[in-house]
Amino acid sequence: MTVVTTERLILRDWTDEPADLARIYDIYSRPEITRWLGVSPGLPMVEPGQAAERLRFWQERHAGDGGRYGTWAIEVRDTGRVAGTILLKPLPGRDETRRTDDIEVGWHLHPDSWGQGYATEAARALLAREFATGTPEIYAVVSPGNEPSMAVCRRLGMAHVGRRTDWYGGEELETFVLTTPDG
């Protein structure tokens, strides 16, 4: 299912098709990606079958969200190649067992898609979509030292509000926020 389209991108559901599963594995088996994702069981992936497990995890996590929130593929229109992942979801609390009311936007791109503006373009489209629902502010949380992701936050116009420990089990994360354009 297509979630959002932009001039260059199609944000869509990840599928269990072989090409999607191969790309999930290719992205999430890379230490240069997973080093920024905190402590996450099963990462980095070490065998291709883990891609199907990760896809099921994403699908189950968002099963009750009615398509509003998700973890989606960023597909480049011109090539059909998946550049990476974009997500929009309620942030998990400090205990990680419950969702908070705080909404997060995030991205994980394959190195072959870095520097193309895809993360910024995809996130901008999701931010606009979510603000249209009445959400007053959206966060991005970034592991300290992940300068490329912090640069995306700045390009999106997000304000850096320092390091916070409100989410993801109390992990200290660089926190950025963008408030509704109407606010």
CATH number of residue 53's parent domain: 3.40.630.30
- Identify the band that residue 7 occupies on the pLDDT scale cut at 50, 70 and 90: very high
Average pLDDT, rounded, for the chain: 95
- Residue ranges of alpha helices (H) inside 71-181 are 118-131, 147-155
In angstroms, rounded to a whole number, what is the distance separating the alpha carbons of residues 64 and 46? 30
The answer on pLDDT for 48 being more than 80 is yes
Query: Which residues span the domain enclosing 173?
Result: 2-179
What pLDDT is attached to residue 95?
81
What pLDDT is attached to residue 129?
97
What pLDDT is attached to residue 183?
58
Return the higher-pLDDT residue of 64 and 182: 64
- Identify the band that residue 8 occupies on the pLDDT scale cut at 50, 70 and 90: very high
Q: What is the pLDDT of residues 91-128, one digit of tens each?
A: 999 887 789 999 999 999 999 999 999 999 999 999 99
- Average pLDDT of 155-167? 97
- Average pLDDT of 50-67? 95
Q: What is the pLDDT of residues 19-39, one digit of tens each?
A: 999 999 999 999 999 999 976
- Average pLDDT of 58-87? 96
In angstroms, rounded to a whole number, what is the distance separating the alpha carbons of residues 167 and 117? 27
Return the axis-axis angle of helices 18-28 and 50-61, rounded to nearest 10°. Answer: 90
Coil/strand/helix, residue 107:
strand
Instruction: Provide the domain count of the chain.
Output: 1
Stated pTM of the model? 0.95
